[in-house]
A and B are shown apart, each in its own frame.
Chain A
Amino acid sequence: MRQCDDQGHSDLMMKDRTKKESFAVVREMAMALCKTEDAEGAKRCGLKYGWLSREDSYAWEETLDRQRASCIVHAYLQRVSGEADEEDWQRAFVLADLLDCRRCAGHVAQIYLKGIIGAKMQIEENRFVFGMREPVTRQELTEIIARIFEPQRRLTVQTVQERETQAKVPRELVCDRKDADRLQEIYAGWMIVDVRSREEYLRWHPAGAVNYPFMTLLENPRLPGIEKGTPVLLCCDAGTRSKAVAERLTQDGWKRVAWLGFGDVRRGEEFEKYL
């Protein structure tokens, strides 16, 4: 795992995780939101206006974790600030652990998308870990509170990009000849479509590939039963036909399309990059 405190889209990493006193407890967040030194007053106020739950009040002196902080802040924005939700919460699906807490998922998504609490770690391109159960430090708490009240201090976060850009250029992939039979494994979760003719397909095809000859797809760019968001890998010998189909599908609103040529396996040519 690569830590991403240098990416500008995550919170500051905790300075010292061993020092327990540097972590905030639930009470401190309530007091900061109420801008009061009166702990009992903050509790009463939070419960009355519904941004603290009964469970929060039971956990009053417990370390505040990021998922609980998100739930409290979101309830505060809804009930006190009156700030509207981000409509498309699914853009927060860049967070790999978003659904770890089902009760919190909707709240964490909002607080992440609003740039109030960022991701803890980056695990791959456009994929992050929010750190649901990670404790919030006092320093982080101060920043979170500031971002609630001063929107200019909010973070710019990465979101699921496919949802924002409709048409993208289809991706070109390369494949080593010895890997032609492992496409299914390498591109797990992709639908592999062989766009060569029925005859070519029957002679040989990559394991797991289905056959939709390219003329059919150019005329009618749809794959029965398959949603346009499904990742589709198109392939043929040289990459010419699959590229044409990839462009056609992309024009038609398919969002995750890639193509590759796997070379003329029948002639036994050494396959490098067929472009």
Chain B
Amino acid sequence: MTFEEEVKQIIARGPKPLDDPTYRYDAFDNGEVLHGKRRGYLPAMGWNSWNAFGSGNTEELTRQMAHQLIELELDKLGYHYLVLDDGCYYPERVDGKITNDPEKFPSGFKALADELHGMGLKFGMYNDIGTNLCAGAAVGTCGHEKTDAKCYAEWEIDFLKVDNCYYLWDNATFSDAANAKYVYTPAIRKIFLSGHDISLELSAVEDGILSGEGGIKAQQEDSVWNLGTFDGTGPDASPIGVRSAELTFRVNVSQTGKYQLTVCYANGQENGKGRWLQIAVGRGKESRLYYDAFMPETPDGTDFVLSPEIEIELKKGENLIRLMNHRRQENTLHSYDAMLEGLMEAAPDREILLSICEWGKTQPQNWGYKVGHSWRILNDITFRVGADGDPGHGAWTEDYTTSVTSQYNKCVIMDEFAGKEKGWNDPDMMMIGMEGLNETMCKTHMTMWCMMNAPLMLGMDLRRMKKGDALHKIVSNADIISLDQDALGIQAKRIYASNLEADSQERPDQAYIRENDRVDILAKPLADGSVAISFINVGMTDRAEGWSTDKERILTYIGDRMIHREAFQKAERFRVTDLWSGEVSETTGGLFAVQDLKACDNVTIKVTPIS
């Protein structure tokens, strides 16, 4: 069978059925992980090839990076993982298996793994839940999870980053809106319900209740649409709250039993209107799914037609009937789940971290913890990656996802989704050492990532760093790294943002703020009972004012997550350590202040109560 035939076959079979309620939207918040996913890890640290070399990485370059990690003593600080990103496989399967590109990686992956392990390092690789990798190679894991997992087990990998290109069930983000058919319901005009002593006609616009966010009642077209999950790839939408919409009806019946439901619908082929419908009764654990498939084709997208009768069960009294499509999230969870399952089967005793890289598209903050150890929150941090001899380009601020602040602005309010028992928000690999970021920006970039418990993946050509130079000092600041790797494992909370009005209804830890002309204050509880506080000038102008926060504000926001809350609360005196300058001082009264924050600069202190 050729590759094209195989893809056609997968498309014909469609997404996996959801027979097991474990994978459904209604189970996302049950706290359970799948296939015994190992928990308790701190964010991974290491180097990834993408920002430095794009798809031009080679075995020789990788070897040089490994030697540099040792030479620069970065391994001693925890930078252990060496991750080969896209561009290292032969462009198609050989006897059904993935294999190395013989020109770029002539020794093969097992030999490279052995070499790295011999140096005390860990070995990471890359694949994709679609049919192809982002750079094009036709070796995506889709449908090959078990086979590929066996290869990874043989190669003894320690980390797997899994991308989302060429995914068959969801590429509606970009230019071909017709792909929305999997991830949005058709437009709904009415439902008809009959059985026992009732026969009801309910209008979607008049009688339907929209729940969640984003659903649209179009009065003029007499229908409801945009029932699906928001695409989170771009920076526009907040990650907080329900990220999808449902159309619900409350229906009272006098008898428990079977009823017939008919839906008046129109299929669509555009963002917000699709063809896949889910019908459930009840919410949460008690819910039951009665329909989960494409609706029959209609001759024209704007023609409303009646569906076949769908049998549902209702209980005496009030029932909640839900029309929805959570497949965007459920399909993606399924695909990552298949990879995790493969790895757990093929290498049950090997600790392999699974790094989810679906770019925040399907709101992985809701489900990523079930299968992964971290999840990307947005599209890439740069599209101007480097090559051997070219450092590539990074930006402090850009409109799209391609800047330090674009990633930070979203990640900084996502603390409650992360944790040692769940996994970590991943604002992408670091751009320290790329062109376009000055030393101050790199320093603050490092602070942000560490305060946010992000995976710390260096993305620069390490040959451009010398021991003791400015960049080396930044990435090897052990005090700052210890914030990221603190045993308590709690991501900092933003407790103040200067451009939120004092009387604003919005909370600094939840408001999605993308206007960068501001100063943020973050607070992070630490395992030894101290608190780390960062004062961050996000904007590109110097700020001469003073900024301060106090014990009460810190306790309000993170008190419930501190381990020695009382000691902190009762303390009169605090030892204050500046984690960038190393200066130590003492303060009484519990007010913590800084003066003069230069553009893009930060002051980060560790505050320890003195008993």
Contact residues of A with B, CB < 8 Å? 50, 53-55, 58-59, 75, 78-79, 85, 89-90, 93, 96-97, 99-103, 105-106, 109, 129, 178, 181-182, 184-185, 189, 222, 224-230
Contacts and interface: CB of A to CB of B under 8 A. Distances in A.
A222 B514 CA distance: 13
A225 B500 contact: yes
Which of B136, B220, B380, B512 has the most CB atoms of chain A within a 10 A radius of its CB? Answer: B136
B218 A90 contact: no
A225 B387 contact: no
A50 B388 contact: yes
15 contacts: A50-B388, A53-B87, A55-B55, A55-B135, A59-B91, A85-B384, A90-B399, A90-B402, A100-B175, A102-B165, A102-B379, A103-B54, A224-B501, A227-B514, A228-B515
Given A89-B384, A182-B218, A53 B56 contact: yes
Contact of A229 (B101, B135, B385, B399): B399
A228 B104 CA distance: 46
B383 interface: yes
Interface string B219-241: 11000000000000000100000
A228 B499 CA distance: 13
Contacts of A103: 54-55, 86, 134-136
Contacts of B504: 224
A103 B165 CA distance: 10
A58 B91 contact: yes
Contacts of B134: 101-103
User: Per DSSP, are chain B's interface residues mostly helix, strand or loop, or mixed?
Assistant: loop
B103 A54 contact: yes
B379 A99 contact: yes
Interface residues of B, number: 47
A182 B384 contact: no
Contact of A224 (B135, B219, B388, B506): B506
Contacts of B389: 50, 79
Nearest 7 CB-CB pairings of A with B: A97-B175, A106-B383, A227-B514, A105-B383, A106-B384, A103-B135, A227-B515
Interface string B135-146: 111000000000
Contacts of B219: 181-182
Contacts of A189: 236
B339 to A, nearest CB: 20
Contact of B515 (A89, A101, A226): A226
Contact of B400 (A78, A85, A90, A100): A90
Interface string B34-77: 00000000000000000000111000000000000000000000
Interface in B366-398: 379-380, 382-385, 387-390, 393, 398
B511 interface: yes
Contact of B218 (A58, A89, A185): A185
A48 B557 CA distance: 56
A184 B219 CA distance: 12
Q: Which of A53, A99, A185 has the most CB of B within 10 A?
A: A99
Given A53-B87, A54-B87, A102-B383, 17 more contacts: A50-B388, A54-B101, A85-B384, A90-B399, A99-B174, A99-B379, A100-B174, A103-B86, A106-B382, A109-B383, A184-B216, A185-B216, A189-B236, A224-B504, A225-B500, A225-B515, A230-B514
Nearest to A78: B390
A114 B512 CA distance: 35
